[in-house]
Structures are given as structure tokens and as C-alpha cells.
Amino acid sequence: MTHVPSRIRKKIEWLLRRAEGALLPERVLAEEGSHLDPRRALIKLAESKDEVERVGAAARVEQLNRTLESRRDDDRRTYLDQHGVAGIQRFHSRDGARIYSMSVETFPKHINNVYLLVDGETLTMFDCGSGMDTSRRDLALGFAGVRGLFAETARYEEVDWCVISHAHFDHFGGANLVKKETRARLAVHELDARVLSCFGERLVIASKDTDVFWRRAGVPDAERTVLIAMYTAAKSAFVAQEVDRVLRDGDSIGPGYKVHHVPGHCPGCMCLQVHDVLLTSDHVLSRTTPHQFPQAITPFGGLEHYFYSLAKVRRIEGVNFALGGHEDPMWDLRARIDAIALFHRDRLAKVQACCSRPRTVVDVARELFGEQDGYSRILALDEAGAHVEYLHQLGHLKIGNLDEVARARDPVIEYVARA
């Protein structure tokens, strides 16, 4: 399969969501979806024909154009059932829960899937976006689309439960608004509860721990200052929020959804089992190998926990369809888990080979990802650090400048493969 650069795929998906706005009910498009500008998006898709074909979306774009031309309700319903509209898509569980995926722009050009579960009289949200203006806008569009496209009566303010999958800002940043604007009770895993309830403390301590890790990784002082400011910038608007229920592995919530604790990507990361469907959040994604960070920054992170959690989810009986916190549905969850585990094993081998001579985490990050800037620089350092840490924990790497580390107060650490 030919590799498609992420920027091209994101561009076409972005344009498709906006072009599909033409299939929304006129009132929904006018009141909640005016930002979509579907006419302009359709023109851009036509101008991007080669890129559309490259990402494998030509048939879908052709079907969209035919549906718009025919104006037939049957064609619209077929398209809606197959693809959803404007990032709003419906799925069903074996026992009758209706699961709505709503695409939400949590940061500029960064898309999350927020889920609304309609099950009898109970409304449950899985995640709530970032709380930023675009996130609020897209949630409003999502709920309006659920009503206008699927004849539901569900409203945001009437949600009963909001389950936070994990304490990363694009998933929980809207929690203040949920508590202010809805009747929902807020639930989160016990290892992430303090991130919400003691947010100011968490931000300070996480910044300090991250700074120590970056210093030992070899990041210069001036660059660390810039990176720390970037790390904390979008999060400063959040106010500490008490949670209504703390969850643990195996707990049941709402109409009987089962909680699976999957530490690794985040200490309190959870998957939510809705009968025969698994909402995997950022634990398993359809295309991306979810971001990893070292335990040196936060306990219960790191690759050892992540590998354990992958194996744990693979053993869940009666489930092989999954919906992630980003990207597309996964029709073969076990195959995707196997591919992710293999990817990390391959990356570990590359890191070990890279350390044939003493290398810092900065060196390893540059070897794996090239020169990165902006927030991508932070992600690259975290990912490289997680793999270096795991190999060091297993004894496959050792510290190559131990005498210098012993003498220095704030040493930069170099790692080298053991013979």
C-alpha cells in the first residue's frame, strides 16, 4: 500500500466533511453549519482530484456529487448510512445502543471523535472536546445533526453522563462547560481524576517533570523555555473541576457499559465497552500509532504499560469492532492491535541500532523523525524518550557517560547499546 502523507489525507478529509454539509437539513446548515461552506469545499475537492485519488476517496467524492445532483431521499439515506455527513455518523451495538460519532475540531486542524450514546432514556457522552470555540461549535453542529439527520431528540444540555476517556486536554478540556451547561455527571478514571480536580497543581508539576526530562534528554535551556510555554499555553483557561464519579477497571457505568483501564498513552486511559462495540479513545487508532511518553514524566505511562494494555484489550471476548478517539472505525480490532505492537517492536529495534554509539534522546528523536518544530518537537522527544526508556529498563541500553552523570548536578544522559 502506497504511503500517503498525513497532511494530504487530513486536507482531503477536511474538505470532505465540509462538502458533506450540503447534505445537512437547510436549517441545521444555516444555524450550526454555516462555517462549513460546502460549495467552496466541493470546488476545492474538484481542484484536488489527484490528491483525492491518492487517499482513496475518489469513489466517495463521486458518490457525494451524484447524491447532490439526484436530490433523491433514497440516495441521501444511502450516503448517510455509509459515510455519515459532515463528521456525524451513526453506529449500532448488538443490544440496541445508538452510537453517534461527532467530529470536533479541538485545536486548529486537530480533529477528535466525541461520542454520544443513546440507549433507552440515557444519554452518555464519551469525551467532551477541548472547550475551545471550534470545539463548542462542532459539538453544537453534532447534536443538531443527530436530531436533523437521524430524528433523535437528544440535546447537549440533557446528557446524563460524560465519561472522560483520559486526561489529555483535547478529550477533557470541555469539562467545565459540561458541568456549567448540562445536567451531566462527570466520570473519569481514578488515576486521572486529580488532573481535573487539582488542575493547577498538575500543570505545575507536569511542567517541572517534563523540564527535567528534556534537560536530561539534551534539550538546550533556551529551547526548553519555549517548549514549556508551548506545552502549557492552551491549557491555562481550564479551571479545576471536581468529578462526580471515579472509575476503576471493570466498573460499570450508565446503562451497563464496562470500563477497561488501559494505562500507557495516559495513566488513567480507559476504553468503554458498549455491548459488542469498544470505544478505544487514543489507546488504539485506525491509522496512527498512538503517542507514547516515558514514565519519567508521568507514572503509569511508558511502553511497558502500553504493551500490557494492548494485550489486555486483545483478549476482550465478543468485541472486534472499535471506534477510536480520532480517525476511522476499526472493523478488525485485533489485527490493528497486532500492527501497532509490531510497529513499536520495529521502532525499538531502530532505536537500539541507533545507539550503537552513545546518543542522547535528542539525537534519537532526530534520527527517527528528522528536524521537528512547534508541538511536533514535543511529540518527537516524548516518543523517542519512551522507546529509549523501555530499552534501558530491559537492560538493552546502558548509560554511556556514567562518570559525567555521577559528577554533574543536571547531566545530559547518553545511552549506548550493550554488547
* Closest-CA residue to 164 (of 172, 156, 152): 172
Q: How many CB atoms lie within 10 A of CB 332?
A: 12
Which is it for the CA torsion 11, 17, 23, 27, positive or negative?
A: negative
What is the predicted pLDDT for the residue at 231? 85
pLDDT tens for residues 85-100? Answer: 999 999 999 999 999 9
What is the predicted pLDDT for the residue at 87? 97
Residues 380 and 364: their CA atoms lie apart, in Å, by: 9
Q: Which domains occur in the chain, in start order?
A: 1-85 (no CATH), 87-342 (3.60.15.10)
What is the predicted pLDDT for the residue at 232? 83
What is the predicted pLDDT for the residue at 55? 94
Residue 296: CB partners within 8 Å, gap ≥ 6?
Answer: 209, 212, 213, 385, 389
Residues 46 and 43: their CA atoms lie apart, in Å, by: 5
What is the predicted pLDDT for the residue at 390? 98
- Give me the DSSP letters along 317-373: TT--EEEESSS--BS-HHHHHHHHHHHHHHHHHHHHHHTTS-B-HHHHHHHHH-S--
User: Residue 289 to residues 68, 302, 407: CA-CA distances in angstroms?
Assistant: 36, 14, 38
For 101-248, where are the alpha helices, taking DSSP H only?
A: 133-150, 169-172, 175-181, 190-197, 199-217, 221-233
Degrees, nearest 5: CA angle 55-101-110: 55
Helix (H/G/I), strand (E/B), else coil: 224: helix
What is the predicted pLDDT for the residue at 375? 87
Q: Residue 7 is inside which H or E element, if any?
A: helix 6-19
Are residues 169 and 203 in contact, defined by beta-carbon separation less than 8 angstroms? no
pTM for this model (two decimals): 0.95
Residue ranges, the chain, pLDDT below 70: 1-2, 234
User: What does DSSP assign to residue 85?
Assistant: B
What is the predicted pLDDT for the residue at 234? 66
Residues 376 and 387: their CA atoms lie apart, in Å, by: 17
What is the predicted pLDDT for the residue at 95? 95
C-alpha cell at 229: 510555554
Q: What does the longest C-alpha to C-alpha distance in the chain come to?
A: 76
